[in-house]
Amino acid sequence: MKEENKNKTKWLHLRLSSAEHEQLQKLFRKSTCRKMSDFARKNLLQKPVILRYRNESLDDLMTELILLRKDLNGIGNNFNQAVKKLHTLRQIPEFKHWLAITELEKKILFNAINSIKKNIENLSKKWLQS
């Protein structure tokens, strides 16, 4: 059997006004086509064109998650600074006991912060890919 030659050898030249070109560019950017020629060919041949879809309601969520990540970083930094300062007060026995307890709480807090940060990053990556 002879295979059909799928190489594109024919040219179609097309003139557009600036407004038409801009409209075509906007539609192309909304599509998943990688090349303008693919996008134009699909439209001319009335084939389906897949458009990117972005759920704009999640933009607010992403803004809040970014602020939350910044707040978590600030909380972690402040907590770390407080613990470092308390380490200088080792001569008082009450602080030694408090430091031991605080170190454990610090580890728990930082694990929780890191877990939240990873979840935010994963959500961000998924959102930015869609």
Helix or strand or coil: residue 103?
A: helix
Give the confidence band of 84 by pLDDT, cuts at 50, 70, 90: confident
pLDDT 10s digits, 43-56: 888 888 877 666 66
pLDDT 10s digits, 22-39: 998 998 888 888 888 888
Instruction: Give residue limits of the domains in the chain.
Output: 14-53, 57-129
Residues 6+ apart with CB under 8 A from 124: 62, 65
User: Which residue is it, tokens 């539609």?
Assistant: 27
Count CA atoms closer than 13 A to 23's CA, side-chain side.
Answer: 5
